[in-house]
Structure 1
Amino acid sequence: MNKLTIRSLSELELHVGQELGVSEYHTITQAQINSFAAATLDYQWIHVDAERAATETPFKATIAHGYLTVSLLPYLWHQILSIENLKMQVNYEIEALRFNQAVTVDSQVRLRATLLSVKNLRGIAKARLEVTLEIKDQPKPAYTGIITFLYHFEA
């Protein structure tokens, strides 16, 4: 995979309107789902009870928490883009997030990202990205949305 490297706000601005890339696939395991349930105290049976989920859900398996899939954004995003000369990155906003399809256990997901805009806020880059979490071999994505990061570049 060819990761894009950005070294400054002006370099980032050159990519507005472009797809920045696609991450590697990541497999959602039951252990990861269970760990997320423990971290968030969300033990709803559709996530953690494999036997019941196999017989009582249309998915025939447990499904990942929607917010677990969203929490993968930074991990998958860093596979697409490397930002150098950076003091700090801040997660600023998520808008228009729509969950389109459940992610069943052992599914593979990957992130596709397009840079919508960059604003210069007194030297801080406010980058808006269209993101899609794709599920391998599925026509519908897990979710689509727009996220905003603030990048504080070194002077």
Structure 2
Amino acid sequence: MTSTTTLNLSTIDLHVGRELGVSGWMLVDQQRIDGFAQCTGDDQWIHVDAERARRESPFGSTIAHGYLTLATLATSAFEVYIKAAGIAQAVNYGLDKVRFIAPVKAGARIRTRIRLIEAQRKADNRVLITTENTVEIEGHAKPALVAHALLLLAA
């Protein structure tokens, strides 16, 4: 965190415009991709058929579902700031902007860089925040995705 002010619900306004932190690296292996395909029913060959993907895909291997990569934002948020800030409840409120920029190949590692864009006070000591989430792929210049996520936080 770039500020000496501790992040919590009462001080969150002071962190608007700042990077909240960067998650640790997460492996996106074929097992994770296959599990996501099974849960969602999206078993398109480009995700689950490694041999065919090697032969026919422009990426030379299977790739993670874009929505799998997007789903990692929750894990990253908990790791980077929700637990550390003592936030008791975080509810997904929506997404304002999502751009899938580069594919995540099976076996790649990703991490998320989180910046606080906005914090709006709500009733009952809740705060609606908007974060910019940039999912980076280890060893690649282009990120996998950039998303503006909204979360409703409560103490």
CA contact (8 A) 1:119 1:126 kept: yes
Question: Does residue 145 of structure 1 match 2:154?
Answer: no
**Aligned residues: percent identity?**
39
CA deviations over 1:5-62 (Å, ceiling 9, x no partner): 633x222111111011111110101000000000001110000000000010111000
CA contact (8 A) 2:97 2:148 kept: yes
2:119 alignment partner in structure 1? 118
Secondary structure at 1:72 match in 2: helix
Superposition CA RMSD, Å: 1.6
1:10 alignment partner in structure 2? 10
CA distance in 1, matches of 2:40, 2:120: 34
Q: CA deviation at 1:79?
A: 1.7
Unpaired segments of 5 or more residues in structure 2?
Answer: none
More strand by share: 1
1:92 alignment partner in structure 2? 93
CA contact (8 A) 1:47 1:65 kept: yes
Q: Which runs of structure 1 show a deviation greater than 4 angstroms over 4 or more consecutive aligned residues? A: none
Unpaired segments of 5 or more residues in structure 1?
Answer: none
CA distance in 1, matches of 2:75, 2:48: 23
TM-score, length basis structure 2: 0.91
CA distance in 1, matches of 2:45, 2:16: 42
2:138 alignment partner in structure 1? 136
TM-score, length basis structure 1: 0.91
CA distance in 1, matches of 2:143, 2:107: 15
CA contact (8 A) 1:5 1:84 kept: no
Secondary structure at 2:141 match in 1: coil
